[in-house]
Structure 1
């Protein structure tokens, strides 16, 4: 058994050495090139599902549970989301029709609200508790998940009054009808400058 293992290891190292030598020396041996391609293809096919390749062919240590395939999305979605944030900042709430009837919002404190009336009421209640609210937007990015065919808008910024500034991150999903049907809000204390 030990002899068989030794022979297999020796054959494997000899085959690897020939392939490496052929690649390093720029050899034009077509057989060696085909063996190299076949090994690479076999290794790629044998790659566990837990690894995902990036654009530069380096494996990620985690596979995203939702999606790892995003492209730039529709800028009109960013405009709609920013108009909703401005609507909140100015305390108007004139754009509730931008939300789908089935909209769901996850607030930073763990509260979940479903439906337009409930989420409008929750936003109005939050807004009345902060009369001197100002919002600054650091970044807004429209995204499209190309494997799930869903549109998202990601927003980073800060909000609050003069003494209680909070950093925030929002994740907005826009459904096929162009309405927001999912919103997750994250926030934390602003870093001391």
Structure 2
């Protein structure tokens, strides 16, 4: 799964499949609603562990999403249509995303071999073919990132998925909002923890 999580999920989630990553979807989701509402009354949980809470929220989100998709098979079909639309558009832009995805998938097959040593895994992941395929896909993704037809299809899928998720879990909007608040807090903490690096080197 290592490679897919970096490239394929990144590629499809960003360019297409809202289904590929609940968090990516959640981030895209609330941004419109969230502005001007800065997580009020959410500051209380500083004693807890935000990362653990985040993991639990992500789990709730992905379980809800899975149920929604199981109970609404048309969502998966819509997701596949969107994926094909994205791949077709990439091909029209002169890329070969299907070939690159095959390269990554065969690398993924190799990585499933439990007898592989850590070095051998690194070799697979860092092989020229795999690196090149990832670069090609990133470029292809950028080439279609602003495509109106894809954006509309993505938005429509996201709305249908959210609607199905609300049927499974009435609190799902709160879960997503809380995730966003936590994410902002964690980012702020990271920024504060980074030491003020002045012009030391050079």
Q: Hey, which of these two has a bigger chunk of strand by percent?
A: 1
- Asked which structure has the greater RCO (Cα within 8 Å, sep 6+), the reply is 2
- TM-score category by the smaller chain? under 0.3
Question: Whose Rg is larger?
Answer: 1
TM score, norm. by length of structure 1: 0.19
